[in-house]
Amino acid sequence: MIVKNPKFEISAVSKKQYPKGNIPEIVLVGKSNVGKSSFVNTMVNRKNLARTSNTPGKTRQINFYNIDDKFYFVDLPGYGFSKMSKKEKIISGNYIEEYLNQGKNISLIIFLLDIRHKPTDDDLLMYEYILKSNLPFIILTNKADKIAITKVDNEVKRIKEILGISYSTILPFSSERKIYVDKVWEEIEKFIK
Ligand SMILES: Nc1nc2c(ncn2[C@@H]2O[C@H](COP(=O)(O)OP(=O)(O)O)[C@@H](O)[C@H]2O)c(=O)[nH]1
Ligand SMILES: [Mg+2]
């Protein structure tokens, strides 16, 4: 897919600010620092459309990026950052739930995990929540550049086993090396027709 004019639209802190209308939403979910904002930048081929950082993001903002009026990438607050206070964790959790519960235009959840690590307890909770939501999802095991290319398939398989899934799409990803981008576009395109 060729993206022409990706635009930041709004940082919503309450339901009322979610965009109106019925443009499909592709939602990024994952713990803080896993690479959600980098993913958005990589997919639309911009350096700084979405703000990336090494420190925990704002815990209550839901950022909507309008992709050529065809769909939104929705960058949810991260969860489970080790430096987050308990209160911050609860706040980010509430915002994630509030957004996912309304679910009106959500056409796909992209769940990001770190290819190098076992999913954390927070990841597993999130995963359960996604399953219960009955919304379509794919899983990306991110930061694949951080391990040897020969190990990628095995690590993906290992994470798949931990999550106990056989049917859903799970792919490696790397914003650093911009690999697997086309494959992920193929998946996304199935959900924005
Ligand atoms: N090596 C590597 N670093 C990445 C990748 N994706 C993100 N990062 C880095 O991880 C940090 C957090 O990324 P960010 O996109 O802000 O994560 P977010 O909190 O989930 O939005 C930043 O320093 C990014 O440069 C990747 O695929 N490979
Ligand atoms: Mg971010």
Nearest ligand, measured from the Cα of 53 = 1
Residue 59 confidence (pLDDT): 65
- List average pLDDT for each run of 10 residues in the chain, which is 193 residues long: 94 92 96 94 94 68 95 90 74 84 93 96 91 94 97 96 86 94 96 87
CATH number of 6-190: 3.40.50.300
Residue whose CB lies within 8 A of the most ligand 1 atoms, among 27, 29, 33, 152, for a mutation test = 33
Exposure letters 151-160 (e unless 16+ CB within 10 A, then b):
ebeebbeebe
Length of the chain equals 193
Residue 176 confidence (pLDDT): 95
Q: For ligand 2, a single-atom ion, which residues have Cβ within 5 Å?
A: 36-37, 57
Instruction: Name the residue with the closest Cα to ligand 1, atom 7.
Output: 35
Give me ligand 1 centre to Cα 25, in Å: 22
pTM exceeds cut of 0.85:
yes
Map out the domains of the chain as residue ranges.
6-190
Residue 177 confidence (pLDDT): 93
